[in-house]
Amino acid sequence: MNDANPSQSNVTPAPIGGRSIPVISAIQAGMWCEIVDQFQPGDADEYLLTDLELSAHAFALTIRGDSMLPEFNPGDRVIIDPEVAPHPGDFVAAKNGEQEATFKKYRPRGMDASGNMVFELVPLNDDYPTLRSDVEHIRIVGTMVEHRKYRRPR
């Protein structure tokens, strides 16, 4: 039997947020795909509202593919801030030398002989390969600061 007072709510209304974040492109959460690097105000067709205090260059991406299942589903949205440095275990958007992007878990591995940070980009789905910065050219674009999950009909 639940003795909790039914008039006591465990939720409060959340503010909608007043900051518009542009959704600049879909990001392939499995293999590399193109990403827009130089986004100009007004270039987006869609925006997300947030209450987070983010840099002026923050942007949103739509997840595609299944390499980040079960935590990130196709259609989920993530807000990326290029001015937030990743910590071990953070989720990041990254680009290769071909200006293509992916979304993965960040795992630093130490310094190489030249003093450059070596890191891995790890998919959550074991069916996809881990990418290593000492094997291919990879640059972190930004760190995820918000994840929007959307309910899907079964």
* Structure confidence at residue 154 (pLDDT): 45
Instruction: Give tens-digit pLDDT for 2-52.
Output: 555 666 888 888 777 788 998 887 655 445 555 545 556 566 789 999 999
61 touches 44 (CB < 8 A): no
Q: Are the CB atoms for 86 and 145 separated by under 8 Å?
A: no
- Residue 15: other Cβ atoms inside 10 A: 9
Q: How far apart are CA 59 and CA 35, in angstroms?
A: 11
- Going by pLDDT thresholds of 50, 70 and 90, the confidence category of residue 80 is very high
Inform me whether the pLDDT recorded for 149 exceeds 60: yes
Which carries the bigger pLDDT value, residue 122 or residue 101?
A: 122
Q: Six-digit token pair at 101?
A: 């992007």
- Highest mean predicted confidence (pLDDT) among 58-62, 89-93, 137-141: 89-93
- Rounded Cα distance between 114 and 26, Å, is 34
Greater confidence (110 vs 11) lies with 110
Q: Mean pLDDT, the chain, as a whole number? A: 85
DSSP string for residues in 42-88: T--S-EEEE-S---TT-EEEEEESSTTTTTS-TT-EEEEETTSPP-T
**Tokens 């509202």 correspond to what residue?**
49
CB 50 within 8 A of CB 146: yes
Task: Using the structure block, give the residue that is written with the tokens 């640059």.
Answer: 139
| Residue 143 neighbours by CB under 8 Å, 6+ apart | 80, 81, 84, 85, 86, 90, 91, 92, 106
Would you say 59 and 114 are in contact if contact means Cβ atoms under 8 Å apart? no
Tell me what pLDDT residue 7 has.
66
pLDDT in tens, 112-121: 999 999 999 9
